[in-house]
Each structure stands twice: as structure tokens, then as C-alpha cells.
Amino acid sequence: MFLDRDGTIMRDVEYCGDPRQVEIYPGVPRALEQLKAAGFGIYVITNQSGIGRGYFTEQAYRTVEAEVARQVGQGLIDATYFCPDHPDKSSKRRKPETGMILEAQRDYGVDLSRSFMVGDKSIDVKCGHAAGLRTILVETGDQKSTDATGADWTARDFVEAAEIVLRHAI
């Protein structure tokens, strides 16, 4: 189970470098618990260009990441992969490229054919499809139009996305 962070499991704060801005959406911790109980590994895949743009440091990002883990519940997220690169820099890790997913596959032996990608933007869907994942677009982020994304499913929020995953897991 791969998921985006900002706009997917937490309120999207433009360039979040302050842990006081972390606001996990209602129901996310319980949904993650259900996915873990069903045997899913959970991997956050997040672009963090605020680092590359100089808006905040990697240490500030790590502090935010720790607050996300605290609010969702320790042990529910197996790993977080982030890309600090500026969007103008060529990067195999920055979504919609698949580098972070392939790193998690290598690190944890993930079976991509049985995996899902949940995100709030078309780049999340593109990344998931490029890696061979089934994709779910949530409507909680800034991208309100879901028509042209090509996602396999659209969900109101992460809670509904988790329900879709649990219904369609093989």
C-alpha cells in the first residue's frame, strides 16, 4: 500500500515545514489500523520540493514526518520515502517517476502486482500506473477535477480509499 501524504492523509499545507501545521484527516488512523490488520505494508511516497526550493530544511521535514507518525499512531507507517528535489531538476525519484516506489519494493520485497497507490493528484495516479499499481484518487486534496486522471477508483477520502483496497485486495 503506497500513499501520498499531503492532501491524502493530512490537510495539504503548502510546503509544510512546521509540525504545528500537521492535521491528519479524521478516520485516517483507524483506516491505517484496518489495512495493517489485513496484512498490508504501508509506505508513504511524498514529493517535498520545499527542501529543494530552500523553504525548509531536511531536519524540519523530519520533524513534520515524526508528527505525522505520532498523530496517525506509531508503527502504522512502515516507511516514508521523500523526494526533496526541485521540480525543475531531472529526478527519477520525484513523482510521477517511480523511483521511490521501486526503492520500497527493493527494501521491503513488495509485490507491486498486488499493491495500490492512493493520492490526491494526477501525478500520484501516473506514478502508480507507471509502477504497475492499482490507483485510487482521493478528493481531499487541492485537485478537485478527477475526470482526466485515469485512476482505477475515486474515493471521497482516505477512509473510503481504504475500504476500496480491502474489498479489492488479492
Find, among 39, 45, 165, 35, the residue nearest to 101 by Cα: 45
- The whole-model pTM stands at 0.94
CB atoms within 10 A of CB 27: 14
Q: Please, which pLDDT band fits residue 148 given cuts at 50, 70 and 90?
A: low
Q: Where are the domains of the chain?
A: 2-168
Best CATH choice for the domain 2-168 from the list 3.40.50.460, 3.40.50.1000, 2.40.110.10, 3.40.50.300: 3.40.50.1000
Q: What is the reported pLDDT for 145?
A: 55
DSSP H helical ranges for 7-157: 28-37, 49-52, 58-72, 99-108, 122-130
Q: What is the reported pLDDT for 147?
A: 58
C-alpha cell at 99: 523511483
Question: What is the rounded distance in angstroms from the CA atom of residue 115 to the CA atom of residue 121?
Answer: 18
Residue 169 has pLDDT above 90, yes or no: no
pLDDT in tens, 80-137: 999 999 999 999 999 999 999 999 999 999 999 999 999 999 999 999 999 999 999 9
3-class DSSP assignment, residue 47:
strand
Q: What is the reported pLDDT for 141?
A: 79
Q: Is 6 a catalytic residue?
A: yes
Q: What is the reported pLDDT for 142?
A: 73
Q: Please, which pLDDT band fits residue 139 given cuts at 50, 70 and 90?
A: very high
Q: Is 142 a catalytic residue?
A: no
- Per the CB < 8 A criterion, the answer to whether 101 and 45 are in contact is yes
- Per the CB < 8 A criterion, the answer to whether 24 and 67 are in contact is no
